[in-house]
Amino acid sequence: MAGVLPVWAEGMTIPFDIVGFDLDGTLLDTSRDLGVALNHALGTIGRPEVPYEEVRNLIGGGSGLMLRRALALTGGDEGIEFEALRQVLVGYYAQNIAHHTALFPGGAEMMDELQEAGVKLAVVTNKPHHLAVKLFDELGLAPRFASIIGGGTYPLKPDPAALHAMVKQCGGGRAGFVGDTTFDTRAAQAAAMPCVAVSFGFVDAPLHELGADAVIDHFDELARTLRTL
């Protein structure tokens, strides 16, 4: 019958008009470049470097929170001109933003699959907006996204305002969100959006406590997981 999809085709559809992604630890592994910038800033005040393996545990919630966690590990923040130090970190990172950063495995193929299914892709990140745009530009990924919203435009996640703005900028429709931390899952819950968590990111709580509707271990699982939500 005209206009009716066959059963096999119905099974291939993705029931979302928009899928939004967090950036750090979700779409992109930014830990090495963030770690280099963090340790550069710590070095300017005579603090020891944070080992790369530990940097991953400090990321989430923006540069300020990452820096506060690093200061706590290396001697505390008493007497530190915190905002000036954060600007050192951000300035160095801006100049060295994409030396080691890359999509997580399967990311390009996953985006191809969603876009071929007619899904609009978007990004909502607590990373400052200009840095998010610069990073995607340097990696050649910016044209993939119908909306890129970074920190400084709306309240940071877990506030849902940026997720609502994402939907509006993408022209409306049913949206889901993909993230790696409680900042993402709580924002999605507050925005009444289904949320998928990635286990390979900078996870800040046990997976079963993140509050996501589903958890994936690789991006090749995302499309079929979205079909269940």
Model confidence over 213-224: pLDDT tens digits? 999 999 999 999
CATH class of 7-29+102-226: alpha beta
pLDDT in tens, 139-156: 999 999 999 999 999 999
User: Please, what is the angle between helix 82-95 and helix 63-74, to 10°?
Assistant: 110
pLDDT in tens, 48-59: 999 988 999 999
Dist CA 215 CA 180 (whole Å): 9
Mean pLDDT on 62-90: 95
pLDDT at 12: 63
Closest to 60 in 3D by CA, of 201, 213, 214: 201
Strands laid side by side in the 175-179 sheet: 145-151, 120-128, 18-21, 175-179, 195-198, 214-216
Give CATH for domain 31-95: 1.10.150.240
Decide whether 7-29+102-226 matches 31-95 in CATH topology.
Answer: no
* 22 has catalytic annotation: yes
Q: Judging by DSSP bridges, how do beta strands 145-151 and 195-198 pair with one another?
A: unpaired
Q: Which of 22, 29, 180, 213 is catalytic?
A: 22
With contact defined as beta carbons under 8 Å apart, do 145 and 103 qualify?
Answer: no
Mean pLDDT on 222-228: 96
Closest to 218 in 3D by CA, of 57, 118, 103: 103
pLDDT at 108: 98
pTM of the model: 0.91
pLDDT at 187: 98
In this predicted structure, which of 1-5, 15-19, 23-27 has the lowest mean pLDDT? 1-5
Question: What ranges do the domains of the chain cover?
Answer: 7-29+102-226, 31-95
Indicate the SS3 state at residue 2. Answer: coil
Kindly tell me if the per-residue pLDDT of 3 is higher than 90.
Answer: no
